[in-house]
Structure 1
Amino acid sequence: MVGLKGKSPRRYWAELAGAFALSLSVIATAPGLVWPISFLVAFVAFIVVHAIYYGQVGRHIQGRLVTATPGAGALAMLFGAGALLLRGSEIAYWAGPLLAVAGFVVMFLFLDRFGKFYQAPSRDSA
């Protein structure tokens, strides 16, 4: 199920899960607050640009909810809380990246199973 320019739902979910995992790792291991806060701002900007690039934001889907159920938010909060609890601890430098890998796998599998990906109707079928 590949759309125009090789934009597939699985690739979309993998890229989002990868950005999520990277942010978990930075939040868990980075000293101070400057890096985690600036990284979260960049993460939100990435999500918006990424959604626009993949056609998940626009006039053609106005009024429709294109999201991955509340479960994605709950998973993100759970893993985010884990990253915050690891901050500053002695095990943060090995447990943070391990949490990020687990976060990537769980988030990708969840989004791949329950995520909603809008695909514009094919112009050839008209």
Structure 2
Amino acid sequence: MRIEDIAAAQVLLHEQLKTDWAKLLNGLALGSCPALSQILRPLEPEYYWSADETEWATDIMFKSVEALEELFPSFVHHAMRVCDSSSVMKYLGRRNLAGAALMRLSATIEDAMKVYGSSTV
């Protein structure tokens, strides 16, 4: 992804920390069903907002694709040396109680077989 104005992007990111998320989300909820407060009167229920997944990230930016491409093999080599599959799965939030990586196959397995006549092979 390219960011043309890094300073402006940083301002937007800092604004997220100042946002009153409950107020913003309550406004969106009210907008989606404006009659709800009248329907529930005299009750005045409040929403409890939570996030299923959140992230506080430290991202690294490169000045060019070439600069990243030069370092990328080293990154891959390092990752292969220090990360095993269970730590990758833990990072991705997929770990069972025993600590082993989970494996789920949800794809449909199909097979096709071509049949030839005895004189065609």
- TM-score normalised to the size of structure 1? 0.26
Indicate the structure whose relative CO is greater, using CA pairs within 8 Å and at least 6 residues apart: 1
Q: For the pair shown, which has the larger CA radius of gyration, 1 or 2?
A: 2
